[in-house]
């Protein structure tokens, strides 16, 4: 039976249909209120004049259907199957999967963390956040001002001592009995919820009451803490200037499109304030002839059917076919009414126009970028393909580490940054190895990677799209263990061995990547690696030079480290000290000792025959 005949005997119930190619692969997923009526349209005369429909029907070798009870169920199942199979004729929402959320767990003492996976485990998820660094900055803010637990300690059993975050005053210490009551901790968790929900005015009112009560009870240190937090919140509110007429939650959506390219911009508004922005881009839509309304409907389904928090209202720029069905599905998902509104006037219409203007600007920034930016994008994509690693298009940044030592002494490390097509010398970092005695490149690498990314997480700094290690499998595994320890195992990692220029990637160590010696990708990795090595060697020479300078002065009888530091501060260098006469030296130290230093630097360095001649 041909497909057209098969479509005429389909059930008339709601459901999902899946087109397959000759190899059995799913190439398109759609949903229908009436399966027979919808699928038959693909085979009617004139329907294949549409480029996408024509290509789809020509490639389709078969289709199958799944019957459900309601159109809302069909909508949810369609979205699940699109996510699962990623059919090439569907509009796919690719960007959103990399955005992080802030997770507040449902434990007796809730802990806070950043995650890119949303699991229906009873936890509360806030976000997603764009850019990704915003989530880490918010985590840092919560640790500093609300002091919720963010480590992985088992809180169901008591510990003998609190964690390191408690020592830094960034955790209330629920892991150790007696440090914080459950009531006090739950209050901090409630404050965090209010803050992440955009309910700063409500939080500020509560904090003022607590500040005044603490001051009245002469708990002045506690009152000062509330005062400082209020100051920060007021500054945040001052910078969030955009308001809606009503103070309710809503998402405002703007769409801009040119041919097969499109940009979607979302303003999440919480209690009348714009608290974030989200951007999505498509470079090659499968159906250029599809209307903006069809595109908008497909995108909104993928965005909101998987989102843990749903606002009561979504303001859309135009109507689309499945609006009523999507409203019903989201209402059931939220447990209360979700309206997809089409504002026509007033402040809501103005906000909608603002979202559309931002979508247009985002489109221009993304697709009309300068040639250098496009070249950097292509270079980054080519590097990912060469390494067979998925590199995020939004994080075109490599951080490379190298260890340097001389005969086991003065071990140092360097970290250099390549971003958007060029080396960023202002972001280079140098490290003295503190925790490792003697020569141990593996433990030294672990130390420096831990110090770098523990601090980046604490400060909410940008994470790289690729971490490159100068070394072989041992150094790679040392770095990998630290990243796993810090919860950063999702950050791509590779090492470049010097001798054969092999690239090792975790999980594929037995089959290292052998890049062509003339390839641009190998030259890029070599250039970054060599720059890290140069920077480490330079730092090591400086450290050895300073050590030699100090040792020369410390060899003077009666001169210790404190006097050595005084001399170097006063005269600038050993050459300056040597050029000074005894009277000048006496300005820094007692006269007798100044003469001793002068004699040591001048008389004792002359040949004996020269002393006799004097």
Does 163 map to a domain? Answer: yes
Whether 77 is in a domain gets the answer yes
Residue 513 pLDDT more than 80? Answer: yes
The pLDDT of residue 167 is 81
Within a domain: residue 256?
yes
Assigned domain for 587 exists: yes
Count of domains observed in the chain:
5
Of 198, 223, 241, which one is at a domain's C-terminal end?
198
Residue 607 has pLDDT above 60, yes or no: no
Q: Are 392 and 358 in the same domain? A: no
- Residue 290 dihedral angles phi and psi, to the nearest 5°: -65, 145
pLDDT band at 243 (very low <50, low <70, confident <90, very high): very low
pLDDT band at 535 (very low <50, low <70, confident <90, very high): confident
Any domain includes 97? no
What is the rounded CA–CA span in Å between residue 382 and residue 524? 11
On whether the CB atoms of residues 466 and 479 are closer than 8 A, the answer is no
Copy the structure tokens of residue 214.
């603490």
| 389-412 mean pLDDT | 80
Greatest distance between any 2 Cα atoms in the chain: 120
Which of residues 261 and 233 earns the better pLDDT score?
A: 261
Instruction: Looking at the structure, tell me whether residues 67 and 176 fall in a common domain.
Output: no
If asked whether residues 38 and 160 sit together in one domain, one would say: no
Q: Highest-confidence range of 139-153, 245-259, 286-300, by mean pLDDT?
A: 139-153
Assess if residue 244 is contained within a domain.
Answer: no
Please indicate, yes or no, whether residues 355 and 403 belong to a single structural domain of this protein: no
Mean pLDDT within 23-41: 91
Q: Would you state the pLDDT for residue 422?
A: 82
Residue 470: predicted pLDDT: 92
Within a domain: residue 213? no
386-401 average pLDDT score: 87
What sign does the dihedral 401-406-408-412 (CA atoms) show? negative
The dihedral through the CA atoms of 65, 70, 73, 79 has a sign that is: positive
Q: What is the pLDDT of residues 122-145, one digit of tens each?
A: 888 887 676 667 778 888 888 888
Distance, CA of 125 to CA of 103 (rounded, Å): 5
Residue 407 has pLDDT above 60, yes or no: no
If asked whether residues 421 and 531 sit together in one domain, one would say yes
Distance CA 156, CA 137 (A): 28
Task: Indicate the residue among 314, 337, 367 that finishes a domain.
Answer: 367
pLDDT of res. 369: 59
Residue 217 forms part of a structural domain? no
Q: Which of 90, 120, 140 is the last residue in one of the domains?
A: 90
Residue-level pLDDT at 453: 94
Q: pTM of the entire structure? A: 0.42
Q: β-strands 62-67, 15-20: how paired? A: antiparallel
Are 472 and 407 found together in one domain?
yes
130 CB-contact burial (10 Å; exposed 0-12 / middle 13-18 / buried 19+)? buried
Residues 148 and 82 grouped into a single domain = no
CA distance 228 to 368: 44
The share of the chain scoring above pLDDT 90, in percent, equals: 23
For residue 284, CA distances in Å to 88, 90, 191, 259, 288 come to 11, 11, 44, 9, 8
DSSP 76-115: HHHHHHHHHH--TTS----GGGG--EEEE--SSS-BEEEE
User: Mean pLDDT across the stretch 280-308?
Assistant: 81
Q: How confident is the model at residue 238 (pLDDT cuts 50, 70, 90)?
A: low
Average pLDDT, the chain: 82
Residue 509 and residue 382 in one domain: yes
CATH number reported for the structural domain that contains residue 34 in this entry = 3.40.1440.10
Quickly state the pLDDT bin for 611 (edges 50, 70, 90): very low
* Spatial distance between the Cα atoms of 142 and 457, rounded to a whole number of angstroms: 13
pLDDT at position 371: 57
- Using 50, 70 and 90 to split pLDDT, how confident is the model at 245? very low
Q: Are 82 and 114 within one domain?
A: no
Query: What totals of helices (H) and strands (E) does the chain contain, helices first?
Result: 21, 19
Q: Which domain holds residue 359?
A: 250-367
> Quick one: 388 and 513 in the same domain?
yes
The residue ranking higher by pLDDT, 275 or 285, is: 285
Query: What is the model's pLDDT at position 498?
Result: 76
Cα distance between residue 119 and residue 123, in whole Å: 8
Kindly report, residue by residue over 95-113, the tens digit of the pLDDT.
Answer: 444 567 889 998 899 999 9
Same domain for 115 and 168, yes or no, is yes
Residues 444 and 314 in one domain: no
Q: Count other Cβ atoms within 10 Å, centred on residue 549.
A: 16
SS3 229: helix
């Amino acid at each position: 039976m041909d497909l057209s005949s098969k479509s005429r005997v389909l059930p008339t119930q709601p459901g999902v249909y899946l087109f397959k190619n000759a190899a059995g692969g799913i190439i398109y997923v759609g949903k229908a209120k009436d399966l027979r009526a919808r699928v038959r349209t693909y085979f009617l005369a004139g329907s294949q004049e549409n480029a996408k429909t024509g290509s789809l029907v020509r490639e389709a070798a078969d289709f199958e259907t799944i019957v459900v009870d309601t159109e809302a169920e069909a909508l949810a199942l369609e979205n699940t199957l699109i996510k699962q199979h990623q059919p090439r004729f569907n509009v796919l929402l690719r960007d959103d999967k990399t955005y992080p959320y802030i997770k507040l767990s449902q434990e007796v003492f809730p802990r806070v963390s950043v995650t890119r996976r949303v699991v229906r485990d009873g936890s509360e998820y806030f976000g997603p956040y764009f850019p990704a660094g915003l989530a880490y900055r918010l985590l840092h803010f919560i640790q500093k001002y609300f002091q919720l637990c963010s480590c992985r300690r088992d809180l169901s059993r008591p510990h003998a001592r609190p964690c390191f975050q408690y020592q830094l005053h960034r955790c209330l210490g629920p892991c150790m009995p007696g440090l914080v009551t459950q009531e006090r901790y739950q209050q901090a968790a409630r404050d965090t919820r209010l803050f992440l929900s955009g309910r700063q005015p409500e939080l500020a009112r509560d904090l003022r009451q607590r500040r005044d009560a603490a001051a009245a009870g002469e708990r002045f240190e506690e009152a000062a803490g509330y005062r400082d937090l209020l100051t920060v919140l007021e500054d945040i509110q001052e910078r969030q200037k955009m308001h809606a007429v009503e103070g309710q939650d809503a998402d405002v959506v703007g769409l801009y499109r040119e041919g097969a390219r499109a940009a979607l911009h979302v303003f999440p508004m919480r209690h009348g304030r714009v608290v974030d922005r989200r951007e999505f881009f498509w470079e090659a839509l499968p159906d250029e002839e599809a209307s903006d309304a069809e595109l908008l409907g497909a995108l909104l389904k993928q965005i909101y059917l998987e989102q843990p928090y749903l606002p009561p209202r979504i303001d859309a720029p135009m109507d689309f076919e499945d609006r009523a069905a999507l409203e019903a599905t989201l209402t059931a998902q939220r447990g209360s009414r979700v309206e997809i509104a089409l504002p026509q006037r007033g402040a809501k219409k103005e906000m909608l126009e603002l979202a559309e203007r931002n979508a247009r600007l985002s489109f221009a920034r993304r697709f009309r970028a300068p040639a250098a930016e496009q070249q950097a994008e292509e270079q980054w994509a080519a590097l990912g393909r060469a390494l067979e690693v998925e590199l995020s298009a939004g994080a075109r940044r490599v951080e490379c580490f190298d260890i340097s030592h001389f005969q086991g002494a003065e071990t140092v490390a360097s970290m250099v940054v390549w971003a958007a097509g060029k080396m960023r010398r202002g972001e280079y970092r140098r490290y003295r190895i503190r925790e490792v005695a003697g020569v141990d490149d593996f433990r030294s690498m672990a130390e420096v990677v831990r110090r770098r990314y523990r601090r980046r997480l604490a400060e909410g700094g940008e994470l790289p799209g690729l971490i490159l290690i100068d070394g072989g499998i041992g150094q790679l595994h040392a770095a990998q263990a630290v990243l796993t320890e810090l919860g950063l195992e999702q950050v791509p990692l590779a090492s470049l061995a010097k001798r054969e220029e092999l690239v090792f990637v975790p999980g594929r160590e037995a089959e290292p990547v052998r890049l062509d010696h003339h390839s641009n990708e190998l030259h890029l990795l070599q250039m970054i690696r060599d720059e890290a090595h140069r920077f480490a060697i330079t730092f090591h020479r400086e450290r050895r030079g300073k050590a030699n300078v100090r040792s020369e002065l410390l060899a003077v009888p009666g001169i210790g480290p404190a006097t050595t530091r005084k001399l170097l501060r006063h005269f600038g260098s050993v050459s300056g000290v040597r050029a000074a006469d005894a009277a000048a030296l006496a300005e820094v130290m007692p006269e007798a000792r100044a003469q001793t230093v002068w004699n040591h630097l001048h008389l004792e360095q002359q040949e004996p025959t020269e002393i006799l001649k004097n």
